[in-house]
Amino acid sequence: MITFMPDPGLLDSPRRRAWPGLSTGHAGPAGEPPEGTDVVIVGAGPAGLAVASALWHHGVHDIVLLDPAERPCERFFDRIDLLGQRVLRSPYEHHPGVEGYRDCELLDFARLHWSRLTEVERREVRMAQAGHRSVVPVDVFEAYCRHLVSSHHVGERTWRATVQEVLPEPDTVVVRTDRSSVTARFAVLCAGERRRVAPSSWWGGGPPPDGVSYWDEPVPEYANRLVVVGAGLTAAHLVSNALAAGRQVHWVIRGDAERYQCADVNSSFFRPEGRARFDRVDWPDRLELLGRYRRASIMFEFRPLFERAEAGGGLVVHRGRAVAAVSAAGDGTAFVRLADGDLVTGERVVLALGTTPATGGDLLPDAVAGTRDGWPELAGDTLAFRRAPRVLAVGAAAAMVLGPAARNIDGHRVATARVAAAVAEGLRRGAPVAGEKALAVARG
């Protein structure tokens, strides 16, 4: 059997190119958001941007986006840049633009900016045009998001605020922030995901000991010997950055081996037939499917790099080893104690344990959030909370409806189509559209 190894060079791509005609920053409107609006969107990441853009095409322009960040998608690109990630894992067809409205899609956008692309990037565009797997530069994706922000007037509708409570009333939703309150007819939760914290048994809970940090914090330059815990793409970036900087790396993986695959979920879940597998089964089977298919994995392109580093001794991989405890000596040394008693020592331990979805449970009243096994119960065709039909969710929170791809950019596209249609129709009728009728009505 021939094993094909994609070129590690595909992981590289220039960052911070100038994109003509696109503003680099966004100050947002001055002052407080209006007291009343049609729709509040909580979170202006790729999911919130997708919802705002889709609503714009539905003729819904009276919207307010709330996010503590200064510009839309800031948290997404900050995390990516902190990890030194230069290309997306998802292909060109996964993007927050709106389909079916003659919008400029991500692939069109890349082609329009052909002269700014490198030879390798152009080849990937051709691969995408031919329907093959392709690698998207972060730079292109960010410029495209900025294009969406300006072409759908999202910037002037985004206010800096942290939402603290979302309180559904019979005819409205009151959204309380750290600065003021906004009353809306509908609210869409697009709050993304948070870092997954270590089990309290590792050091007793709370902030990590000195010398131990999480993937979304900077790795100090002094750390010549790094211990990375985790088996996903985030861990892979931490390992490859450290190797590139000439550091010795110990990599602790709970599974028997690292898993290499193109996308982070089985590609069938990005297609209707994959989502149908979810539609057909009950809640316990959905939970089982989510657990089985949302497993940590790494892009193929890393494989030659890691195999070379391991053979050369710069990388030591501790496979099939569960972590029992993490501690620090106070002299600049940090330790990972493995379940079999072995100790892995470094000047820094970085935990890349993945993320957990913001499901709305911390914003909505308990009686409304309806959380079951950590997931909200949402109507399948509208993604509205079953006990609060004026509140809808896009992003990771929709995973029990849309399957594991809900947590990816393409899942936001599918969720957005349902949510935007339901909200637009609800505004037109003056009441939420319940159950199966929502999409049928909205699509005529």
Ligand X SMILES: Cc1cc2nc3c(=O)[nH]c(=O)nc-3n(C[C@H](O)[C@H](O)[C@H](O)COP(=O)(O)OP(=O)(O)OC[C@H]3O[C@@H](n4cnc5c(N)ncnc54)[C@H](O)[C@@H]3O)c2cc1C
Residues that bind ligand X (CB under 6 A): 42-48, 66-69, 75-76, 79-80, 83, 85, 88-90, 94, 162-163, 190-193, 234, 358, 395, 408-409
| Three-state secondary structure string covering 140-180 | HHHHHHHHHHHHCCCHHHEEECCEEEEEECCCCEEEEECCC
Strand-pair category, 343-346 with 334-338: antiparallel
Q: Report the candidate in 120, 96, 88 with the shortest Cα–Cα distance to residue 299.
A: 88
CB of 72 to ligand X, least distance (A): 8
Q: Report the candidate in 428, 419, 365 with the shortest Cα–Cα distance to residue 397.
A: 419
CB of 408 to ligand X, least distance (A): 3
Strand-pair category, 384-385 with 388-393: antiparallel
Task: Between 185 and 407, name the residue whose CB sits nearer to ligand X.
Answer: 407
Task: Between 269 and 335, name the residue whose CB sits nearer to ligand X.
Answer: 269
CB of 362 to ligand X, least distance (A): 8
CA atoms within a 13 Å half-sphere pointing along the CA-CB vector of 157 = 29
Q: Which residue has the tokens 């927050």?
A: 96
DSSP 98: P
- Alpha carbon dihedral 23, 37, 397, 298, in 10-degree steps, equals 0
Helix (H) or strand (E) holding 142: helix 138-151
Task: Between 156 and 436, name the residue whose CB sits nearer to ligand X.
Answer: 156
CB of 134 to ligand X, least distance (A): 12
DSSP 301: G
CB of 378 to ligand X, least distance (A): 15
Task: Between 168 and 209, name the residue whose CB sits nearer to ligand X.
Answer: 168
Phi, psi of 427 (to 5 degrees): -65, -40
Please, are residues 417 and 423 in contact by the beta-carbon 8 Å criterion?
A: no
Task: Between 45 and 211, name the residue whose CB sits nearer to ligand X.
Answer: 45
Map residue 208 onto helix, strand or coil: coil
Task: Between 75 and 390, name the residue whose CB sits nearer to ligand X.
Answer: 75
Task: Between 191 and 433, name the residue whose CB sits nearer to ligand X.
Answer: 191
Shortest Cβ contact with ligand X: which residue? 45
Kindly give, in sequence order, each residue whose CB lies less than 8 Å from that of residue 315, ignoring residues fewer than 6 positions away. Answer: 239, 243, 249, 251, 306, 309
CB of 243 to ligand X, least distance (A): 18
In angstroms, the CA 175 to CA 65 distance is 11
Kindly give, in sequence order, each residue whose CB lies less than 8 Å from that of residue 54, ignoring residues fewer than 6 positions away. Answer: 98, 416, 417, 419, 420
Map residue 303 onto helix, strand or coil: helix
- What are the structure tokens assigned to 347, written together? 């000047």
| Side chain identity at residue 141, one-letter code | F
Task: Between 190 and 420, name the residue whose CB sits nearer to ligand X.
Answer: 190
Identify the bridge partners of residue 391 per DSSP, sorted by sequence position. 187
Count of CB atoms situated within 10 Å of the CB of 263? 18
Task: Between 190 and 334, name the residue whose CB sits nearer to ligand X.
Answer: 190
CB of 311 to ligand X, least distance (A): 28
Task: Between 43 and 211, name the residue whose CB sits nearer to ligand X.
Answer: 43
CB of 218 to ligand X, least distance (A): 14
- What are the structure tokens assigned to 165, written together? 């409570």
CB of 61 to ligand X, least distance (A): 21
CB of 194 to ligand X, least distance (A): 8
| Side chain identity at residue 307, one-letter code | E
Task: Between 381 and 410, name the residue whose CB sits nearer to ligand X.
Answer: 410
CB of 74 to ligand X, least distance (A): 6
DSSP assignment of 240-252: HHHHHTT-EEEEE
